[in-house]
Amino acid sequence: MISYCSRCLYPSTKPDLWFKDGVCGACHAFDLRSNYDWSSGKQVFRDLLRDNKKNPRYDCIVPVSGGKDSTYQVWRVLKEGFNPLCVTAPTDQLTALGRANIENLKSLGCDYIEISVNREVRRKINRHAFFAVGDIQWPEHLLIYTIPVRAAVQFQIPVILWGECPQREYGAGRPEDAYLKYFDRRVLEEYGSLNGLRVSDLLAIQGVDDRDLYFYEYPSAEEVDSLGLKGIYLDNYFPWNGISNAVIAQSLGFRVSEENILGTIANYENLDNYVHGIHDYLKYLKFGFGRATDVACNLIRRNLLLRDDACALVEKHDGRYPSSYLDRNLDRILQYYDISLQEFGEVCDDYTNYELFLNDASGQLVRRPDGSPQLTGSFSCLHQ
Amino acid sequence: MIYVVNFPFCNFFSLERYLRVRGRPYQILSLRDRLSSSDQVLLPGVGTFGQAMSYLRDQQLAPLLQDHVDQGGSLLGICLGMQILFEFSEESPGISGLGFLAGGCVPLPTALSFHVPHIGWNHLVSPPKKSSCSELFDFLPLGGLSRSDYYFVHSYVVKPSDSSVISACFEHPVGPLCASVHARNISGVQFHPEKSGPDGYALLDQLLDVNSNA
């Protein structure tokens, strides 16, 4: 049942991905962008920030994790002569490298705030979401969107400057999302990775109370409207390339991982959360592709990797059993949520889409030496 | 013409993308529109039953939809859009649905081997009673299993009073549950064909073409 984009390696099982003439939406969106005239982008960006200035000191909110992209974003805004307020919604299990990169970002020359939520409550939500929807990273997927909006209202700064439009970069969304300028609640409801779990559902978790969920929710529509809040994507105004972002960020002190990261082919992204590996493995079990595919596809589109070569890399690295992430072993990562390795295995089996993987004569999954299942399809199954 | 109800919180973008990629002209449904029986209305939806109905009430769109259905115009509900075709939902007690079909929505039964919310790709099985729209789904002749998978995200499931309106089911430990309905000019799918890749697009093509020929 799985088929692949004829240009990159995105599979038909990626929810919300559309195809035209055998080519996926992410590749179509990239083609559109290649024909952009970028010459006016800088001026449009400057006008937009000037026209929407409300806070006498700050020009925009930049949501930051300290990663390559947010380091680049802050650099870009400062370079254009504006004063951002940087806001971090910390990850679920911040890595040492992630902390070092946040500290580096704080040295770039702007004000910075970090908003942390009740750690014990968050831990319960992580655990609940892992069992309920197979996503251990659920709180982060919500808080990275809601916390900057809370900060925007709090400090009366009407522009939130996001990095790349994920719908465009990763292929979901409408072709004309290339022109999407305003970030609103609906984008989160539709494209945010909430997996059917809603904030109101969290109250069913023992030990989670309404008072703990302030930052998990958006401010009221009235507050957002009266501020005139706009979410804009930097990649509408300046070309976007993860590799050049990484180069610029490294020149500013951003550090990549010295070790290869299990399950992917890049050492310059997703460095800030120990649960990334678990999240990406579940994605592989559910949809038959993981982070190595995402990275490879981004490189293929930019002519930095040949599709044939990418096939070999992805086959080797994608969907590897996440026995460790950066410097931490899986059992220790899970221990933080009081999840045993056995429970982890059971949840993995529960969420595996068995039709995507090879079975032996007795109906058991054919596993690779590390324990991860072997895909049935090959990248030569092109979507027609 | 295809009209889409533009709920403030819903899968509108994905549906609109389908319509654009396929080159199907459409409009956002507004109170001013005069629908004819050859028009088709799409009811998308993500969120709660109560939210959706309160939007339709505030926008005064419910009577418009009622007239459209009475005139024989076709209506396709997707996910929550299918649930509100029915009379009620235990998700929002005391709130009436559109009531075009008899029955209501109940929480998905929890089971060891079935997670709620039901999220991800799943295949369909043929309904207990054959419905005129069952043929849209590519059920294998033996076993009544679909060749295609579709993407589901939901916590409630429709329980029609008249089981003959069920056009496809998904498997659940308690037995097959309703995945889609079809009755007269009204159809609904619990899953998201607009998010289900090539097979989902093909199904939407068929549903819209069948309805336009009806």
Q: Which residue of the set B10, B68, B79, B133 is catalytic?
A: B79
Residue B118 annotated among the catalytic residues of the structure: no
Contact state of A196 with B154 under an 8 Å Cβ cutoff: yes
Residue B79 annotated among the catalytic residues of the structure: yes
Give chain A's mean pLDDT: 89
Find the domain containing B196 and state its range. 2-212
- Distance CA(A160)–CA(A63), nearest Å, equals 7
Contact A176/B at CB under 8 A: yes
User: For the CA atoms of B164, B165, B170, B176, what is the dihedral angle to 10 degrees?
Assistant: -30
Mean pLDDT of B185-194: 95
At B112-137, the pLDDT tens digits run 778 888 888 899 999 988 777 888 88
Structural domain total, chain B: 1
pLDDT at A176 over 70: no
Is residue B123 within 8 Å of B148, Cβ to Cβ? yes
Q: How far is CA A382 from CA A11, A12, A379, B29, in A?
A: 9, 9, 7, 37
Contact state of A16 with B198 under an 8 Å Cβ cutoff: no
Mean pLDDT of A219-247: 89
User: Checking DSSP bridges between strand A23-24 and strand A19-20, what pairing results, if any?
Assistant: antiparallel
At A239-275, the pLDDT tens digits run 889 999 999 999 999 999 999 999 999 999 999 999 9
The pLDDT score that the predictor gives to residue A178 is 40
Contact A349/B at CB under 8 A: no
ipTM at complex level = 0.72
E-strand stretches of chain B: 2-4, 26-28, 40-43, 74-78, 88-89, 103-107, 118-125, 145-154, 156-160, 166-170, 177-183, 186-189
Contact A175/B at CB under 8 A: yes
- Distance CA(A209)–CA(A189), nearest Å, equals 22
At A88-114, the pLDDT tens digits run 998 999 999 999 999 999 999 999 999
pLDDT at A173 over 60: no
Classify the phi-psi angles of B23: left when phi > 0, otherwise alpha if psi is within -120 to 50, otherwise beta.
Answer: left
pLDDT at A182 over 70: no
Q: What one-character DSSP code corresponds to residue A123?
A: H
pLDDT at A179 over 60: no
B9, B147, B197: residue with CB nearest A186 = B9
pLDDT at A344 over 80: yes
Is residue B184 within 8 Å of B68, Cβ to Cβ? no
Which parts of A170-268 fold into alpha helices (H)? 185-191, 221-227, 242-251
In degrees and rounded to multiples of 5, residue B139 shows phi and psi of -70, 140
E-strand stretches of A39-122: 60-63, 84-88, 111-114
Contact state of A20 with B195 under an 8 Å Cβ cutoff: no
pTM: 0.85
Lowest mean pLDDT of A78-87, A264-273, B205-214, name the range: B205-214
Q: Domain with B142 in it: what CATH number? A: 3.40.50.880
- Distance CA(A248)–CA(A242), nearest Å, equals 10
Contact state of A197 with B8 under an 8 Å Cβ cutoff: no
The pLDDT score that the predictor gives to residue A224 is 85
Residue B133 annotated among the catalytic residues of the structure: no
Scanning every residue of chain A, which has its alpha carbon at the shortest distance from the alpha carbon of B14? A173
Contact state of A19 with B198 under an 8 Å Cβ cutoff: yes
Contact A50/B at CB under 8 A: no
- On chain A, the residues whose CB falls within 8 A of the CB of B156 are none
| pLDDT level of residue A172 (50, 70, 90 thresholds) | very low
Contact B120/A at CB under 8 A: yes
The pLDDT score that the predictor gives to residue B4 is 94
- On chain A, the residues whose CB falls within 8 A of the CB of B16 are 174
Contact state of A173 with B201 under an 8 Å Cβ cutoff: no
DSSP codes of every residue in A28-40:
HHHHHHHT--GGG
At B78-112, the pLDDT tens digits run 999 999 999 999 999 999 999 999 999 999 998 87
pLDDT at B182 over 90: yes
